[in-house]
Amino acid sequence: MTADQLENGLTLSVLGLLAIIACIVIVPHARLALALFIGGIAFAPVWLGANLSGLVTIHTALAALALVSLVVDAYRTRSRAAPDPRPLRQAGLHSFDIVFMLLAALTVASNLVGGVDRGQVYLVATWGLMYALGRAAMLRVGLVWIAGALTAVMTVVAVFAIIEWVTSWNPWLEFTGNSSSAFRVWGPQQFRGSQVRAEASFGHSIALGCSLAITLVLTIIARMRNAAKLIVIGLLTVALILTFSRTAYITAGLGVVLLLLFTGRNLSSRMRAGLSAILVAGATLGLIITTSAFAENEDASSDAAFYRLWLWDLVPGLRALGASSLLYRTTDGTSTVGSFASIDSAVLLYALTNGWVPAAVLCIALLIATVRLVLRGGDPALVALVAQIPAFFTVALITQYAHLVWFVAGMAVTGITQAAPNDLGTSLRPSASRRHPSLVA
């Protein structure tokens, strides 16, 4: 055993002991466990601890801890009036749950016959963990609390993103950088022309921008005064602009528009006016700040646009089930697809690694979610998820953004199962609306 292996073994032993203690202390407190998970999404980069464990990351460990805590809480606090021996059954089994179970079953079956590797099984299992956590969190804690917690931590991230753009200093790169392969991939700072693209703890400017776009939508239901809410949304918007990510701009703008169109009757007139003003001001500020940067980097921007179009030339190489024959894994563990070293499309990458049938099922589910929002309304979690659909075709599910997307997807599905027809609020009952005057006209 080498010195490095011995050191890692001792470190893992200490961490294991701390994890046991943490479980004993934290599991009885569901909100604390969920807060730790949300804080991990915001503040723990993907390379943190990457050298110690190949599969269990900080985010998956915190998610598992939070899910166990929520299940324990459900059994401890079940109502005497409805003594269901399985309290989480009140969430209901939705068609989207069946879709996800089908996708997971296809991945496992493909792995058994050699169609996909174990990495895809682990990836889908991670998505399932985040999805289940979102489902349980919405049921046990509620949308308002989750939105408030996410808004709080992402506001701090937004402040650091602004500092990063002004000073080119990123504390996560300076204090948490390590020799892991994850840090080699996500550690280098990005630039748009001569300007730093803010990425904070997320390892990539697009991941940060899209995560801020999700938070921006959910902030609308956080428990705070309207004035404070608009200030926070403005701060999140500034940080989002400084990522110089066109995908993030689109998803944020779409999210605000969907809020105004499909939740407008549940927002006060001042909140509607404030959101509209932020949308216009954000677009104006974005043009002022980003025009010169995009002009400096015009060739690279054009190349990136063409690259995303060229990716679709891979479609003829797709298989119905299993990985494409174009997918090649090198001896160092990295993968290439045809002549492409990376695939900037979550949908296309999923089709290339799992087959076009599972990808088509996933796209149909997203289409149904969109139609559901348009025809019957939905809560901010559903709005946030639908607004991210353009990103699924232009960026892979990377770093903490992937975890946040599936967490919000679980929240959105629970919201749908609890909603009455034509009821925007989903989890917002009339009594909740009275407690949150910004949500009522």
Provide mean pLDDT across the span 203-230: 95
Q: Which two tokens stand for residue 183?
A: 């840090």
Task: Give a yes or no: residue 388 inside a domain.
Answer: yes
- Most confident of the following: 52-61, 267-276, 395-404, 418-427: 395-404
Range of the domain at 126: 10-77+93-439
Residue 212 domain-assigned (yes or no) = yes
Whether 3 is in a domain gets the answer no
Structural domains in the chain (count): 1
The answer to whether position 288 is within a domain reads yes
408-417 residues labelled b (16+ CB within 10 A) or e (exposed):
bbbbbbbbbb
Is the residue at 87 inside a domain? no
Which residues does 116 contact at the CB level (< 8 Å), separation at least 6? 107, 110, 322, 323, 353, 354
Q: Give the tens place of pLDDT for each residue, 277-309.
A: 998 999 898 888 888 888 877 666 666 777 778
| pTM for the model | 0.89
Q: Is 240 helix (H, G, I), strand (E, B) or coil?
A: helix
Instruction: Round to whole Å and give the CA distance between 158 and 153.
Output: 9
Q: Among 150, 186, 205, which residue's Cα sits nearest to residue 40?
A: 150
Residue 284, domain member (yes or no): yes
Rounded Cα–Cα distance for residues 123 and 153 (Å): 26
Reported as a pLDDT band with limits 50, 70 and 90, residue 204 is very high
Q: HSE on the CB side for 195, CA within 13 Å?
A: 23
Neighbours of 330 (CB within 10 A): 8
Tell me whether residue 32 is in a domain. yes
pLDDT digit string, tens, across residues 343-377: 889 999 999 999 999 999 999 999 999 999 999 88
Q: What is d(CA 439, CA 441) in angstroms, rounded to the nearest whole number?
A: 7
Give residue 178's pLDDT. Answer: 84
| 419: in domain | yes
